[in-house]
């Protein structure tokens, strides 16, 4: 089953077209990486799929249920309120700058959303939180406040907070861009762990080696178009398109 279908997505900010007719889908258990130069629209695509931005045209479905479609007259039609709320529960998002709640400690950051949104009991929510914290090596930190943690630790808490909501798909919006190389490693290890558990993930990243190693499929974007799409070896080792070659060559020389 396709967990996510995004079809003919267009997005413009005022007169600037950021996404031109982009379509892609994500299957159960798949790890998809989206790479490309800055300004290529990859983060915007992710933000459209998570409804942080409203699309200009196109359709988005989760678990084969339509969240938004464009009708014949070009108007966006959203799923009704209760369906849409269910659709929001299908996915989680890990932000570039974590966005933990600074006034709550680690445990409360993870427990409160489960209690409010999923109506889990306190003991159940805490059990889920503690299991996941142990998995990412942060059991000791459940009473700490976000400001007392390193960036890598904060991001691991953010991943746990998202996972605790039992999403079908987890999106990562440049999860390591705010971190130094050592902390980046911490986060990539966690994502690798999730991939081993067959978590369905969409990762927007600049970590090419990581994307190559972990992904089932890679999308290369530039100027608001999907230029190339395929397995890591197709995209990284035998890129067909000139833009992809240029981008990867630039990237390899920089390393």
Partner 1 sequence: MSFFDIVVQLGDSMLNSIYIFLLTLLFSIPIGLIICVIRMYAWKPLQWLVKLYISVVRGTPLMLQLLVVYFGPYFLMNMKLTTEYRFWAVIIAFSLNYAAYFAEIFRSGIQSIPVGQHEATYILGYGNIQKFVRIIIPQMFKRVLPAVTNESITLVKDTSLAFAISYIELFTEAKMIAAAETSMMPYLVAAIFYYVLNLIVAGIMSLLEKRMNYYKI
Q: Nearest to residue 159, comparing CAs of 108, 93, 112, 105?
A: 93
Which residue among 165, 169, 191, 226 contacts partner 1 (CB under 8 A)? 165
Q: Are 159 and 81 in contact (CB under 8 A)?
A: no
Q: Which residue has the tokens 């999923």?
A: 118
Q: Does 116 bind partner 1 (CB under 8 A)?
A: yes
Q: Which is nearer to partner 1, 172 or 210 (CB)?
A: 172
Q: Give the torsion sign (CA, 224, 18, 214, 184).
A: positive
**Other Cβ atoms closer than 10 A to 55:** 24
Stretch that binds partner 1, among 30-38, 69-77, 111-119, 192-200 (CB under 8 A): 111-119
Question: In the set 99, 131, 209, 233, which binds partner 1 (CB under 8 A)?
Answer: 99
199 near partner 1, judged by CB under 8 A: no
Q: Is 112 in the site for partner 1 (CB under 8 A)?
A: yes
Least Å from the CB of residue 92 to partner 1: 7
Count of residues that interact with partner 1, criterion CB under 8 A: 26
Q: Which residues bind partner 1 (CB under 8 A)?
A: 50-52, 85, 88-89, 91-93, 95, 97, 99-103, 112-113, 116-117, 145-147, 161-162, 165
């Amino acid at each position: 089953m396709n967990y996510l279908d995004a079809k003919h997505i267009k997005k413009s900010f005022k007169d600037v077209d950021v996404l031109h007719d982009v379509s892609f889908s994500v299957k159960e258990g798949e790890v998809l990486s989206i790479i490309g130069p800055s300004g290529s629209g990859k983060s915007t695509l992710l933000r459209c799929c998570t409804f942080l931005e409203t699309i200009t045209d196109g359709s988005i479905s989760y678990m084969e249920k339509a969240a938004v479609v464009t009708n014949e007259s070009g108007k966006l039609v959203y799923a009704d309120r209760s369906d849409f709320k269910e659709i929001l529960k299908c996915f989680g998002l890990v932000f570039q700058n974590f966005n933990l709640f600074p006034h709550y400690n680690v445990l409360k950051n993870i427990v409160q959303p489960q209690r409010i949104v999923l109506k889990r009991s306190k003991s159940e929510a805490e059990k889920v939180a503690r299991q996941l914290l142990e998995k990412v090596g942060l059991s000791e930190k459940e009473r700490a406040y976000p400001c007392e943690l390193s960036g890598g630790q904060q991001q691991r808490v953010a991943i746990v907070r998202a996972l605790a909501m039992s999403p079908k798909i987890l999106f990562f919006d440049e999860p390591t861009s705010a971190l130094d190389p050592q902390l980046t490693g911490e986060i990539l290890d966690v994502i690798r762990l999730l991939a081993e558990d067959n978590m369905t993930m969409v990762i927007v990243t600049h970590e090419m080696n990581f994307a190559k190693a972990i992904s089932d499929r890679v999308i290369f974007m530039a100027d608001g178009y999907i230029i190339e799409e395929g397995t890591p070896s197709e995209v990284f080792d035998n890129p067909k398109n000139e833009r992809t070659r240029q981008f990867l060559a630039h990237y390899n020389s920089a390393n």
